[in-house]
Amino acid sequence: MRRRITRRDFVRTGTAAGIAAAGLRASTHGGKAFGKAPAVVPVGAAQPVVITSSNGNWFKNGGTQTCVEKAWIAMMAGSDVLDALIEGVNIVELDPEDYSVGYGGVPNADGVVQLDSSCMHGPLKRAGGVASLEGVRTPSRVAREVMNQTDHHLLVGKGAQTFARNLGFTIEDDLNTPLSRKLWLEWKQRTDPRHYLTTKERAIASGDEGAVLRTADAVRRQMAAEGLFPASKMYGTINCDGINAKGEICGVTTTSGLFFKIPGRVGDSPILGAGLYVDGQVGAAGSTGRGEANLFNLSSYFIVECMRRGMHPKDAGMEALKRIKSNTIEKRLLNPAGNPGFNINFYALNAKGEFAGVAMYALEDDEKGWAGETGRRVRYAVCDAKGPRTLQVEGLLPGTPDGKS
């Protein structure tokens, strides 16, 4: 019987660090506290804010700043909002400890890391994206160049890689890290043991244990149940949206996609209206979680349209979740209570700078150990004049995705 491998075999545990305000020297702001907004905000102007998924206020790639801090600092220093947000998500894309995004993202079923990203610029009314991009650690930067350098909104696969190479991006043969490679090999051994033998299986005579039918998804979920990674992070991703004091709104989403996905599978992240949508006069919305549910409902676009009709970001997000719930009818996707057996999270802000983080469920047993969470709260991150912090989302349904309380 194959030895059960614990999460400790894959992930080096560390001491949970407190959330610290970093990067701004007191002299830069005349001795004021971290990231203070202007003392006088012009009438009609927005309250500046950056909002991200929870990994945006945890991973630092060996530095002192998180994504949400970096983006806020750059935005308040006068950088273009989208450039600031991309600087922020680059921290997560480059950090090998976050195996759901960029370098070291968990690969597809063939062991190849394929990355997706999209970005939207509200003031310029432009957008760009890439899907199934291989060999580039920062797909968000390539997505921005698609927006700036082409007449297109989306480049995919080999074409996206060639485009990146032509613009001088470094193309690497393999974006796996030892951790992502180990996770893939474990998954591969379980789904295809005849091809990838363990030491014990190599010593067993053919036919002694018989063949076991194990679907890729079942194995993925079993690995999560054994603690190799949080099940809630099988879909990866970071979304980051921001608005400055002038009311300029932008957003970016980047991901390595569903763990061990079918090669070429594209989720919601690079698709405008699904993984991200921005209207410069209304607001922005983005998502993490089950991409297929988001794609079917074009939820980010729907949220922005709800805000256009006057809804607060929280209420708009809840409307999108209700639509997903009503459209989820396949038994395989339902828990024993008849509700969606998966989670999906939305992050939204409007033109006033009001924001919200919502999810199908505000609690998930699998959240423990992810991005510093010690319990089972589903969280998101924000940075404004009060500094960076991590907050719990508002949930549509009680309990957890598996139907438990």
Residues classed as catalytic: 237
Half-sphere exposure of 163 (CA within 13 A, CB side): 25
DSSP secondary structure string for all residues of 258-316: STTPPTT---STTSBTTTEEEETTTEEEEEEE-HHHHHHHTHHHHHHHHHHTT--HHHH
How far apart are the C-alpha atoms of 170 and 146, rounded to whole Å? 16
Contacts of 373 (CB under 8 A, 6+ apart): 54, 367, 379
Cα-Cα-Cα-Cα torsion 371, 237, 137, 133, nearest 10 degrees, comes to 160
Residue that has been written with the tokens 């999209």 in this structure: 118
Where do runs of H (alpha helix) occur along 134-227?
A: 139-149, 157-166, 178-191, 199-202, 216-225
Contacts of 45 (CB under 8 A, 6+ apart): 245, 246, 247
Residue 359 is encoded by which pair of tokens? 């999810």
How far, in Å, are 173, 181, 282, 283, 399 from residue 41 at the CA level? 49, 50, 19, 19, 41
- Element containing residue 350 per DSSP (H, E): strand 344-350
Neighbours of 338 (CB within 10 A): 11
For 390, the 3-state DSSP assignment is: strand
CB-based contact 348:356 (threshold 8 Å): yes
Give the type of residue at 22: A
Taking alpha carbons only, the member of 35, 95, 22 closest to residue 60 is 95
CB-based contact 258:275 (threshold 8 Å): no
For 21, the 3-state DSSP assignment is: coil
| Burial (0-12, 13-18, 19+ Cβ within 10 Å), 211 | exposed
